[in-house]
Protein backbone atom coordinates (compact mmCIF):
# COMPACT_ATOMS: atom_id res chain seq x y z
CA UNK A 1 0.00 0.00 0.00
CA UNK A 2 1.29 3.42 -0.93
CA UNK A 3 -0.52 6.40 0.46
CA UNK A 4 -1.42 9.84 -0.68
CA UNK A 5 -1.65 11.38 2.74
CA UNK A 6 -2.71 14.80 1.45
CA UNK A 7 -5.83 13.33 -0.19
CA UNK A 8 -6.40 10.31 2.06
CA UNK A 9 -6.46 7.77 -0.78
CA UNK A 10 -4.48 4.52 -1.03
CA UNK A 11 -2.65 3.08 -4.02
CA UNK A 12 -2.42 -0.71 -3.98
CA UNK A 13 0.58 -2.44 -5.59
CA UNK A 14 1.85 -6.00 -5.88
CA UNK A 15 5.32 -7.16 -4.83
CA UNK A 16 6.86 -6.14 -8.19
CA UNK A 17 5.47 -2.61 -7.84
CA UNK A 18 2.70 -2.93 -10.43
CA UNK A 19 -0.24 -0.67 -9.63
CA UNK A 20 -3.63 -2.33 -9.17
CA UNK A 21 -6.37 -0.22 -10.73
CA UNK A 22 -9.48 -0.09 -8.56
CA UNK A 23 -12.57 2.02 -9.10
CA UNK A 24 -13.36 3.77 -6.82
CA UNK A 25 -9.93 4.33 -5.27
CA UNK A 26 -9.91 3.12 -1.62
CA UNK A 27 -9.74 5.70 1.19
CA UNK A 28 -7.62 5.19 4.30
CA UNK A 29 -10.45 6.16 6.64
CA UNK A 30 -12.52 3.21 5.37
CA UNK A 31 -9.69 0.65 5.64
CA UNK A 32 -9.09 -1.60 8.62
CA UNK A 33 -5.60 -2.77 9.59
CA UNK A 34 -5.71 -6.54 9.96
CA UNK A 35 -2.20 -7.06 11.36
CA UNK A 36 1.29 -5.62 11.23
CA UNK A 37 3.92 -7.28 9.07
CA UNK A 38 6.50 -9.42 10.79
CA UNK A 39 9.08 -9.56 8.01
CA UNK A 40 10.77 -7.40 5.38
CA UNK A 41 10.54 -7.57 1.59
CA UNK A 42 13.89 -6.72 0.02
CA UNK A 43 14.85 -6.24 -3.60
CA UNK A 44 18.42 -5.94 -4.85
CA UNK A 45 19.50 -3.71 -7.73
CA UNK A 46 22.94 -3.14 -9.20
CA UNK A 47 23.87 0.55 -9.05
CA UNK A 48 26.43 1.84 -11.52
CA UNK A 49 29.54 3.41 -9.99
CA UNK A 50 29.71 7.07 -11.12
CA UNK A 51 33.23 7.80 -9.82
pLDDT tens for the chain, 51 residues: list them: 666 667 777 888 887 888 888 788 778 788 787 777 778 777 888 888 887
Question: Please, which residues have CB within 8 angstroms of residue 15's CB and are 6 or more apart in sequence?
Answer: 41
pTM of the model: 0.42
Q: Report helix, strand or coil for 19.
A: strand
Euclidean distance between CA atoms 16 and 36, whole angstroms: 20
Q: Which residues pair with 4 in a beta bridge?
A: 9
For the chain, which residues make up each domain, given as ranges? 1-32
Please give the backbone phi and psi of residue 30, each rounded to the nearest 5 degrees, phi first. -100, 0
Amino acid sequence: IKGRMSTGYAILMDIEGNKINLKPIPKFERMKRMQARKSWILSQEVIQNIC
